[in-house]
Amino acid sequence: MLSSTSNSDGAQRIAPDRPGFVRLTASDRPGVAQPVPVRDIPVQPWPRMFATAMALMLLALGAWEWRMRALGLEAGDLDDGPSAWAEQRRRVGAENAPVVIVGDSRILFDTDLDRFEALTGTRPIQLALAGTNGRPFLENLADDPSFRGLAVVGIAENSYFRDAIGLNAEALKRYDFESPSVRISFLLHRALSRVFAFLDPSYRLSRLVRQADEGWRPGVVVPVPERLWKLASTYDDRQTTMWSRVETDPRVRAHQRAVWGVDKPSGRPITPVEDALVASALEKTRIAVAKIRARGGDVVFVRPPSSPEFRRFEDVRTPRARAWDPLLAAADVRGIHSDDEPSMQGLDLPEYSHLSRACATVFTDAYARALARVTPRIALRADAPPALKPADCVGVDARITGVAAPASR
Amino acid sequence: MLKKNDASRDLARCGRCVPGGASMVFNSLTFVAFFAIVLVLHAMPFAWTVKKVNLLIASYLFYAAWNPPFVILLWISTVVDWWAAKKLVDAERPAARHAWMLLSVVANLGMLGYFKYGGFLLENFGALMASLGVVYQPPKLDIVLPVGISFYTFATMSYTLDIYLRRAAPARNFLDYALFVTFFPHLVAGPIMRPTELVPQFQQPRRASANQLCFGLALMTLGLFQKVVLADGFLAGPAEAVYDGTKMPGALDAWAATLAFSGQIFCDFAGYSTTAIGAAMCLGFAMPDNFRFPYAAIGFSDFWRRWHITLSAWLRDYLYIPLGGNRHGEARTYFALMATMLLGGLWHGASWTFVVWGGLHGVYLAAERMARARFAGYRPSALALFGLGLLTYLLINLTWVFFRSKTFGDAWRVLKGMLGLNADAVPILPAVDLVAIAVIVGGIVAAHWLMRQRTLESLLARVPEPALTAVWACLLLAIVIEQGSGNAFIYFQF
């Protein structure tokens, strides 16, 4: 059967010089006008096969969706990424944002936007990014004349005191230019993610196959982002929380802890961060803060907690006296360090680096109140809920209490 | 050593990247919605001219979905060649015909040269000056490379050139011609269509039958499976880990990564072509084959009759033959061959590594030509043919090293690894990747050998319906659960 009704004489006039090739191509016809292509359609009941294949696929997909939900994935867990970030970044100028959060995964996971809003009447725009140095994003805000609000900068010193942006450098490029095609795909994907749980980059087919390899080949060092299993759930406004299974499944939690590699020292000596990197970070921060203040804005640094296992490493690499304290001094800004606030002590860090869902709410409660103390840009509402204590979250199952579940979820 | 420009770097890395400037790639949700609307519109009871206008507008939207202002470039290219061809036909004096043809060539190559090679030329000019002791700092141009410019430039040029060479008559109307240039299935990454292949198809109403529509969808499924699951899901990562990393690969990792890239580039580009052919078929149009199981090629002339057929045929018809081809003695033939392959290499990207890739293929072709002349009476056995085929595949893999590497330093690092010369080599790829590469690339090469003298259609006609249906369902499911992330096709940047 031929799909083209057009003249194919041109093709037939030239005898095939390679027997077995049932269809000539341009490579067989040098120096002549190429004729209208002729395409065969294999004799099969294609419409019936298509309908059956689609039905089988949908059945199998239903089973896959059921399995993914059984594993803890949920519809409405939206994929984070450069387009989601760029969408929030565009809000900064459009909404004359009063509070914007930049930083790395700690301030991203550890902030409960609903709690912040309930306390202060202001819902911050969440611009922190996992695995990413917050400083270039602070500089990006500093270079934006439309930003005149408060920048809350989450600090994990090992991420902040380095030159590289980290995993999500693409986000800034996406904000600078996002093609219509990419934006439409993002919106469609988000709409589908509200319905289907299986749409999760951590549970792609190829990723699941790779996870089967438990270090079979000696000596191979797979980069941390590729070794991590699903760690977070993301909702509207990029509200991000620890994935519930990290809290509830000892196997998943143990894996994530092992990936960080902080509870089993590798034997390699930990070296303090280089002076040049510290100096560079301090100077760039000072300039960025000055730019924001010159327009009437302000900056406050927040240092979320990390576990003693992490602190063993962090306190050698970027001790407070070399990193946090000089940072506040160089930029002449106020800071809220979890070490200094009793209400931020003893919180639950299931995989050592990020707070549990319930404790993220407690931490947010504490740092929002602290912000109100250190900057006039944040004030507690008259009807603000009472303060939370670490006891409100430690040892509490977030799924039962619902303490960290945003209403929009 | 000069580095590739940003666009080339991105394309080499694009197995994992999600470019914000991505065009409307076939493996994106935007395209799914777009194509559904186009299919519905094309099935509506409109007049044929209205349907063609719909297709033209859809094709411009397809291109604008990358970066709307750059549609202007497409218009310029379209209008220049339309008028050049029109004037060329009307011209009575050979000199005038020649001048109009030159206008088309200069305008097209001028745009291509500026956008694709402007930065590269300046960078090399600066390096040349520096080597002569002259301090010259070239300005940073930051030129955006328009998606698919190499493809639609070649398509529009073939229109003027075919008319100049009296191989084709001009299109009857501007709509048919503009649709030939812009038709979205081939617009940004081929197959590179000739006017005689497509313009006649626009002259009469076309609508896919139910069989055509469903077989077109089957082809699109196959193409997207190759791209989303095999190329992006399993092969891009290992290639990236070795080629873009700083670790020294040993023989196993260097070979595995290179084989992975050989599979990735095939699945990426052949996947695109298959999807494009399927999309056109769903609308009732026929597009030519662009790949014919190339990893079963025996020799390099055979390889180029199987790999990116529409480009190699274009270069042969509009470059190699005008340069003299094989009609002016051996020396001229070798010159034409090398010039064609070097320029063909440069077509792929503004980098010397692409030139070396093309040059290696030129050397291979020249050596094969010499060997054929020297052993004219030799008739190899089946086993010898198989051996020659494996040797061809091996040597092609060596060329992929230069194609994939960002710099000559990276290429040398991987080549030394392939030869086992990296003394400080460390294991890079996890075992699961090695297994996946062995299974997928081994499967691709085996399939090419089984199919080397057949067409896909001839095979599909013989497979029992239940088995074919089950495979189709599995491919669909694999595409959906792999999810994809709208990664650009590698050839978009060419």
The pLDDT tens digits for A311-349 are 888 898 899 999 999 999 999 999 999 999 999 999 999
ipTM above 0.95, yes or no: no
The model's pLDDT over B416-445, given as tens digits with 9 standing for 90+, comes to: 999 999 999 999 999 999 999 999 999 999
- Half-sphere exposure at residue A205, Cβ-oriented, CA atoms within 13 angstroms: 22
Residue A273: pLDDT band with limits 50, 70, 90:
confident
CA distance B205 to chain A (A): 11
Contact A184 B29 (CB under 8 A): yes
- CA separation for the pair B441, B255 (Å, rounded): 12
Facing residue for B473 by CB, picked from A39, A60, A83: A60
Q: Tell if the CB–CB gap between B20 and A177 is shorter than 8 Å.
A: yes
Neighbours of B391 (CB within 10 A): 12
Task: Specify the pLDDT at position B124.
Answer: 85
Average pLDDT rounded to a whole number, residues A389-405: 61
A205 at B interface, C-beta within 8 A:
yes
| A30 contacts B233? CB cut-off 8 A | no
Q: CB distance from A195 to chain B under 8 Å? A: no
Restricting to A residues 65-124, those with a Cβ less than 8 Å away from any Cβ of B are 81-83, 86
Whether the pLDDT of residue A297 is over 70: the answer is: yes
Q: Given this model, what pLDDT does residue B453 score? A: 87
Whether B226 and chain A come into contact, CB under 8 Å, resolves to no
Report pLDDT for B14.
36
Confidence (pLDDT) at B487: 55
Quick: pLDDT tens for B290-315: 999 999 999 999 999 999 999 999 99
pLDDT grade for B128, boundaries at 50, 70 and 90: confident
Q: For residue B492, name the pLDDT band (cuts at 50, 70, 90).
A: low
Decide: A393 and A346 in contact? Cβ < 8 Å: no
**Structure tokens given for A209:** 């196959």
Shortest alpha-carbon distance between residue B224 and chain A (Å): 15
Amino acid A260: pLDDT: 86
Q: Say whether A209 and B431 touch across the interface (CB within 8 A).
A: no
pLDDT band at B19 (very low <50, low <70, confident <90, very high): very low
- At residue A135 the predicted structure's pLDDT band, cuts being 50, 70 and 90, is very high
Q: How far is CA A37 from CA A45, B183, B248, B277, B393, in A?
A: 23, 15, 47, 11, 29
A185 in B contact zone (CB under 8 Å): yes
Structural tokens at position A239? 């509200």
How many Å apart are CA A358 and CA A394, to the nearest integer?
8
The residue in chain A having the minimum alpha-carbon distance to the alpha carbon of residue B197 is: A36
pLDDT at A266 over 70: no
pTM, two decimal places: 0.89
Pick B422 or B490 by higher pLDDT: B422
Looking at residue B494, its pLDDT comes to 53
Q: Any idea what DSSP says for residue A125?
A: E
Q: How far apart are CA A133 and CA A172, in angstroms?
A: 12
- What does the pLDDT read at residue A23? 81
Residues of A in contact with B483 (CB under 8 A): 199, 201, 204-205
Per residue in B331-362, pLDDT (tens digit) is 999 999 999 999 999 988 888 999 999 999 99
The per-residue pLDDT for range A32-71, each reduced to its tens digit, is 889 999 898 999 999 999 999 999 999 999 999 999 999 9
* Average per-residue pLDDT for chain A: 88
State how beta strands A240-242 and A232-234 pair: antiparallel
Q: Which amino acid is at B210?
A: A
Q: Helix crossing, B382-404 with B352-374: angle to 10°?
A: 160
- The candidate with the shortest Cα–Cα distance to B15, out of B428, B494, B485, is B485
What integer pLDDT is reported at residue B143 of this predicted model? 77
H helix or E strand, kind and range, residue A193: helix A180-193
The pLDDT tens digits of the residues spanning B217-240 come to: 999 999 999 999 999 999 999 999
pLDDT at B11 over 70: no
Cβ-count burial of B382 within 10 angstroms (0-12 exposed, 13-18 middle, 19+ buried)? Answer: exposed
Interface test with A, best of B472, B479, B492 (most A CBs within 10 A): B472
Token look-up 């994106």 returns B28
pLDDT of residue B20: 45
Q: pLDDT tier at B142 (50, 70, 90 boundaries)?
A: confident
| A213 and B432 Cβ atoms separated by less than 8 Å | yes
A contacts of B427 (beta carbons < 8 Å): 217-220
**Chain B contact set for A32 (CB, 8 A):** 167
Q: Looking at the partner chain, which of B200, B430, B478 has a beta carbon nearest the beta carbon of A216?
A: B430
pLDDT at residue number A261: 82
B19 — contact with chain A (CB < 8 Å)? yes
Contacts of A61 in chain B (CB under 8 A): 477, 480-481
Tell me, yes or no, if B66 comes closer than 8 A to chain A by beta carbon: yes
- pLDDT mean over A23-39: 88
Question: Given this model, what pLDDT does residue A267 score?
Answer: 67
Judged by CB atoms closer than 8 Å, whether chains meet at B214 and A43 is answered as: no
pLDDT band at A357 (very low <50, low <70, confident <90, very high): very high
Please count the helices (runs of H) and the strands (runs of E) in chain A.
18, 7
| Tokens found for residue B25 | 């790639």
* pLDDT at position B132: 84
**Catalytic amino acids of B?**
348
State the pLDDT confidence band at A72, using cuts at 50, 70 and 90. Answer: very high
pLDDT above 50 for A400: no
Both tokens of B449, joined, read 């050998």
Q: In chain B, what residues touch A14 (CB-CB under 8 Å)? A: none
Measure the CA–CA gap between B437 and A226, rounded to whole angstroms.
18
* Residue A20 with chain B: CB contacts under 8 Å: 453-454
The answer to whether the beta carbons of residues B80 and B72 sit under 8 Å apart is no
Share of chain A above pLDDT 70, in %: 90
Stretch among A262-271, B157-166, B256-265 having the lowest mean pLDDT: A262-271
The confidence score (pLDDT) of residue B493 equals: 54
Mean pLDDT of B97-121: 89
- Name the residue in chain B with its Cα closest to that of A173: B20
- The pLDDT, as a whole number, for residue B486 is 55
The pLDDT, as a whole number, for residue B414 is: 96
Number of cross-chain residue pairs from A and B with Cβ atoms under 8 Å apart: 254
What is the 3-state secondary structure of A131-184? CECCHHHHHHHHCCCCCCCEEEEECCHHHHCCCCCECCCHHHHHHHCCCHHHHH
